[in-house]
Amino acid sequence: MKQSSIKALLSFAILFSMTSCLKKNDMIGLDTSARSNIIEFANTGDNVATATSTYPRFTTDLGAVKSGDTVSFNVNVSYSGSNDAPTDITVNLALDTVMLKQFNAENGTNYVAPPAAIYSMPQSVVIKKGTRKTQVKVGIVNNNSFNFNVNYGLPLTISSSTGGIISANFGKAVYSFSARNTYDGIYMMDATAPMVDVLNAGITGWYPVKMHLITYSGNSVALYDGVPIYTKTYGHPIQSGGSGSYYGSFSPVFFFDKAGNITSVTNYYGQNSGGNKRSAVLDPTGINKITFKADGTVDHFEVSYIMTQSVSSPDLPRTYFHEKFTYLKSR
């Protein structure tokens, strides 16, 4: 009798632990015939929230999105259990910013709910009779309200349903997304004139080399060694005494206008950064222009810029760069 009681308690403990865990696959690891059908957000890719997070997060890289264009990602809503939906089930969806605050606190993140001007989605969906899942498309538009510097997370909740029981864990979910501007990609970086370090003749350019240009804002990209060549971070590779190196606290960010001009250059780490107080500035005497392909995508651009440092005197020009970036492919 005592042994039977212990077995029963162990079985209950295992069952309870399984219902408390967040899932990675579409179904919670239980015998679905032993429970009522659940209304929940099914996986859209893997759940990338931390193991201790109350609610899941699914993420989407929207790729390069031109100004004015709309792209979309999917949200899956499921009638999870042993049976198909016995009738049409209407599921109502709502934004839950309170849940997003809790998610950020539990995951150490800083996601922001997107403004209404940049997304669109239905407020309700229907899981059809005889099925178990339906898919919602969330549209994201790159307009003046889209801020490339913000980490967007769409916090959704199943507010009500005409059938089934709303899941405690998966009745809410965060859908994070990011977009790339049209300049983003992998480029071949080459020199159109020798790189000159006026303080150290032993430092020379490292060309040609593949580099990543990563979206910094809607109209700018930052230089990143993502291949990697040497830096494995935001930085500009150089040769120092014949060995690979890079300038610390320095990586250029290129800003473009709609006409294809490079209007300014700044330092990814902030102007006057590091012990040498390094900055990046555009050299207006050089070529600072994009050449586009017939379809409007980037073929290549040329840019001239200067790394300055003010550790010993105000805005001392340290290094002159004259470069050509030829687009190879998307990241």
The confidence score (pLDDT) of residue 313 equals 63
Contact 57, 107 (CB under 8 A): yes
**CA 214/CA 212 separation, integer angstroms:** 6
The secondary structure of 36-66, three-state, reads CCEEEEECCCCCCCCCCCCCCEEEEEEEECC
Domain 36-180 = CATH 3.40.630.10: no
Task: Check if the beta carbon of residue 209 is closer than 8 Å to that of residue 330.
Answer: no
pLDDT tens, the chain, 331 aa long: 444 433 444 444 434 343 334 444 444 433 343 356 999 999 988 999 999 999 999 999 999 898 899 999 999 999 998 889 999 999 999 999 999 999 999 999 999 999 999 999 999 999 999 999 999 999 999 999 999 989 999 999 999 999 999 999 999 999 999 999 999 999 999 999 999 999 999 999 999 999 999 999 889 999 999 876 677 899 999 999 888 899 999 999 999 998 999 999 999 999 999 999 999 999 999 999 999 999 888 999 999 999 999 876 667 899 999 999 999 999 8
Looking at residue 34, its pLDDT comes to: 37
Instruction: Give me the phi and psi of 18, to 5 degrees please.
Output: -70, -35
pLDDT of residue 149: 84
For residue 131, the SS3 value is coil
Handedness of CA 141, 89, 83, 7 (dihedral sign): positive
Beta-sheet strands, E only, within 96-205? 119-120, 124-127, 133-141, 152-161, 165-166, 172-180, 185-191, 196-197, 203-205
Element (H, E) at 17: helix 2-20
Across the strands, what pairs with 123? Answer: none
How far apart, in whole angstroms, are the C-alpha atoms of residue 252 and residue 301? 14
Dihedral sign for Cα atoms in the order 30, 32, 36, 39: positive
**CATH of span 185-329:** 2.40.128
**Residue ranges covered by each domain of the chain:** 36-180, 185-329
Q: What SS3 state is found at 68?
A: coil
